[in-house]
Amino acid sequence: MSELFDAVDALLASRATLPPPAERKRLRAAHGLTIDEVATALKVRRATVSGWEAGKTEPRPPERDAYARLLDGLAQLYPADATPPAQSAAAPATFAAEPAPAPDAPAADPAPAVPEAFTGPASKPEPVLAPAPAAVSSSRPKSAASTARPSTSRRPGAKKAVAKKTTAPLAAAVDPRFENGPLAVIDCEDGQVSAYCVGGVVLDVPAKTIPSLVDWTLTEARLGQARLHRHGRDADPILVLTASALERYGLPAALSEEERRASRLPAGHKVVKQIGRAGLQMSQRGFGPWARIYRDPEGSRRRCVQLCILPWNALDVREWDRKDNPVLPTMHPADLARYLGLYAARVITPRGTTATTGLELMTALRPPTRAQKDETTGEFKQAFNADALTAKYDVVPCEVPDEHPVLKHAGFARHHIRTPAEMLMEEPYDWCRPLTDEECANPYLVVVDINMSFAAAANGLTVGLNGPTHLTNNPTFDPALPGSWLVDLSHIDLSRLQVNGRTVDGTRLPSPFTPKGDHPTGPAWYATPTLAYAQELGYDVAPTEAYVRTHSGRYLDSWYKRLRDAYVETMADMGVTTDLTEDDFLEAMARRKQADPTMALLETAIKATAKGAIGKLRQRSRGEVPYYEPYPALERWTWRPDIRAAVLANQRVGLHRKLLKTAAAADLYPVAIGTDAIVYPSPGPSPLDVLPHTPEGKPVPGGFRLGVSPGMVKWQGTQTVLWAEALFEERGGVFNISNLIKTDQSAGEGE
């Protein structure tokens, strides 16, 4: 009988009544809960809970009954006719909450009390009392960000007195060390220096010099971001200096030509001398657009502040702004704090370029070391994590770029162009072919672009985590071993391929084995995903030599998930959600930038983070040292060209797999591909006119699908076939037209 009752209870729960979306959000906020906390408790993604509160989606069993139980409990604590407890203006839940931890490492599990050099903070944060708002003292006009919540200004030292009087409930999710968020924009108006923080909070800054500004940040500002992994470390606070702040603190409005080349102020500059006299230190890159200033750690606590100098192009217009119409130089400080604060909350606190930040995100989610207690002595010592990159290993000659020191004595001439048999050439597609007469009968060329293609290719990919093992004497190919293999694939005939019982004309498709789409002509180095795909197509793979990594793992999974969630949530904020029909998706994409310009900037930054981080795994010399001499990037543990090659190979063969299935389903072939932009001849100007569907109206399984999620496609642009033919004739041959067709200027950038 009890089983029957349980079944009945489950049926009742599956139809549990939920309050309206606005009430759901009110109840959560009244209890001081963040979306991340609710998502973690219900074991769903952050974007899912956001969709429930926006009314875009409804929860389904088994999450529905748990969500209903949560809301019922909150409704009893905070009835609709009661006044909810005051929320701390200094710590808005949207921005100041600790980011969601990595799936395999809940943040609720504290690390032992050991030096932060390898464990992060020593103890779990205590709950903080929500202080009441202080009087507003800023005379600056309110911006879009500051009008959403009253701007608050406090004098340093006033927090403790206010906190003692409040009777608000404990907000356990807010780390008291970082109650004002991860960063602040420092601006000066009428002689008053203000720090604009996330959530509209404005702090009065008493500091009159850069050293005192750093000390104020370390002791009173309560800025920073909690670690993303239990074995990681907290992010240092970021201060973004505007042009008025530079003038106030005696810094030049722009770097001179010589200073730009050096990317720093000279050692004799008065501010640099002030820093030295105050006992502060700087990193080796000195006082440049991204200056890191610190004092020696106090026990387990780092004492470091990073300055982001906006007028010195710290936030590159190609990554953080609009390339054609920059807005950051004139953006209100509160809006800038909102933009960068959202990036920090959804991705990570900015650390420099988006590429550098993306690489730091990998390390933050997969820290190399942890604290391990010695059972004999009872003391903590450093130990390495098995799922991370933990050392700088020997490099493989075929995997490194031309200027690498390992090639110094390889016997190559100065400008020798290495062949595929000498160099691993795993790159994205750059391919174009002439149109056939039948294709020229179509009036249009439609381009679709893959969302976050490099990040999507990293998802689920097994990569090497240790050093290379050299295999000789014709080793057997093992698709489970990441690495580089020397193989001759020139015997493979791709002219006719069988897919789902249908024959595909392979001559109208690029080869999956080369970036230019040409057929291999002899032995060449390939990454594991490329050869695994050759086996998937039914061909034999017989390597003659290989460099493999015997210790492997899905190192990039948590990195991908963090960026995926950030991208999907940001797109949802602009009205582009995962549940839209194809027509609605195209309409939402067309109007998204007008919906919220700040979110449009955030979209660009997230995509640049994903793209740049993969490229930085094989960062080349920037000309700072002569050819064949060591350059700084080579000292990083994350300088791993083999991992980059594996991601790019996986992206390329994954794209070819979809091309095959699309051709088999609809006899549809591309005429050009540029990284992740695919050009198809079309009878109409819309992607709906060309992408194939099943008789039921669904996208072809395994083909291209319109949608917002990484790996799905969006519309990049449309041109006429006559335009392409005229361009071919004008330039005297076929060249890649894919990235010249851009109705959506933000697409087709290899993100």
* 13: CB partners within 8 A, 6+ apart: 61, 64, 65, 68
Residue 107 pLDDT > 70, yes or no?
no
Contact between 671 and 680 under an 8 Å Cβ cutoff? The reply is yes
* pLDDT tier at 432, thresholds 50, 70, 90: very high
| pLDDT at 148 (0 to 100) | 34
Amino acid at residue number 200:
G
Q: How many CB atoms lie within 10 A of CB 428?
A: 21
Q: What is the structure's pLDDT at 87?
A: 35
User: Mean pLDDT in the chain?
Assistant: 85
The pair of structure tokens assigned to 715 is: 């519309």
Q: Quick count: other Cβ atoms within 10 Å of Cβ 146?
A: 24
Q: 163 vs 32, 131, 176, 219, CA distance in Å?
A: 16, 5, 11, 18
Left, alpha or beta for 195 (phi > 0: left; psi -120 to 50: alpha)?
beta
What are the pLDDT digits (tens) for 228-262?
A: 999 999 999 999 999 999 999 999 999 999 999 88
In this predicted structure, what is the pLDDT of residue 507? 93
What per-residue confidence (pLDDT) applies to 97? 33
Query: What is the rounded CA–CA span in Å between residue 290 and residue 349?
Result: 13
> Mean per-residue pLDDT for 643-663?
97
The answer, yes or no, to whether residue 121 has pLDDT greater than 90, is no
Average pLDDT over residues 479-500: 93
Q: Which amino acid is at 463?
A: V
Element housing 160 (H / E): helix 159-165
Report the top-level CATH class of 2-77.
mainly alpha
What is this structure's pTM? 0.78
Q: String of b and e for 91-130 (b: at least 16 CB within 10 Å)?
A: bbbbbbbbbbbbeebebeeebeebebebbbbbeebeebbb
- How does strand 523-527 pair with strand 483-488? antiparallel
Alpha carbon of residue 658 to chain centroid: 24
State phi, psi for 669 to the nearest 5 degrees: -125, 140
- The answer on pLDDT for 278 being more than 90 is yes
Please tell me the least confidently modeled range out of 234-238, 320-324, 512-516.
320-324
pLDDT single digits (tens) 517-564:
999 999 999 999 999 999 999 999 999 999 999 999 999 999 999 999
Q: What is the mean pLDDT of residues 110-131?
A: 34
d(CA 240, CA 221): 14
Residue 351: per-residue pLDDT: 92
CB-based contacts of 307, cutoff 8 Å, min separation 6: 210, 238, 239, 241, 290, 291, 292, 293
Residues contacting 148, CB < 8 A, separation 6+ = 200
In this predicted structure, the answer to whether residue 169 has a pLDDT above a threshold of 50 is no
Q: CA nearest 170: which of 205, 227, 206, 126?
A: 126
pLDDT > 70 fraction of the chain, expressed in percent and rounded: 84
- Rounded to an integer, the average pLDDT of 687-694 is 95
Question: Which residues, 6+ apart, have CB-to-CB distance to 513 below 8 Å?
Answer: 489, 492, 519, 520, 524, 526, 530, 534
Least confident of 190-199, 308-317, 726-735: 726-735
Q: How confident is the model at residue 73 (pLDDT cuts 50, 70, 90)?
A: confident
- Enter the tokens of residue 482: 């990441």
Provide the Cα torsion 107, 113, 115, 119; round to 10°: -20
pLDDT given at position 735: 87
Domain boundaries, the chain: 2-77, 93-100+123-349, 397-427+458-553
Q: How far apart are CA 167 and CA 311, in angstroms?
A: 43
Mean pLDDT of the 206-218 span: 96
Per-residue pLDDT at 89: 32
DSSP 568: H
The pLDDT score that the predictor gives to residue 643 is: 98
Per-residue pLDDT at 96 = 33
Spatial CA neighbour of 715 closest among 672, 745, 735, 681: 745
Contact 345, 235 (CB under 8 A): no
Concatenated DSSP letters for 208-255? -SHHHHHHHIIIII---B--SSTTS-PBPPEEEE-HHHHHHTT--SS-
Mean pLDDT of 80-99: 39
Strands 444-450 and 677-682: antiparallel
SS3 content of the chain, % helix, strand, coil (to 5): 35, 15, 50
Return the structure tokens found at 314. 């710290």
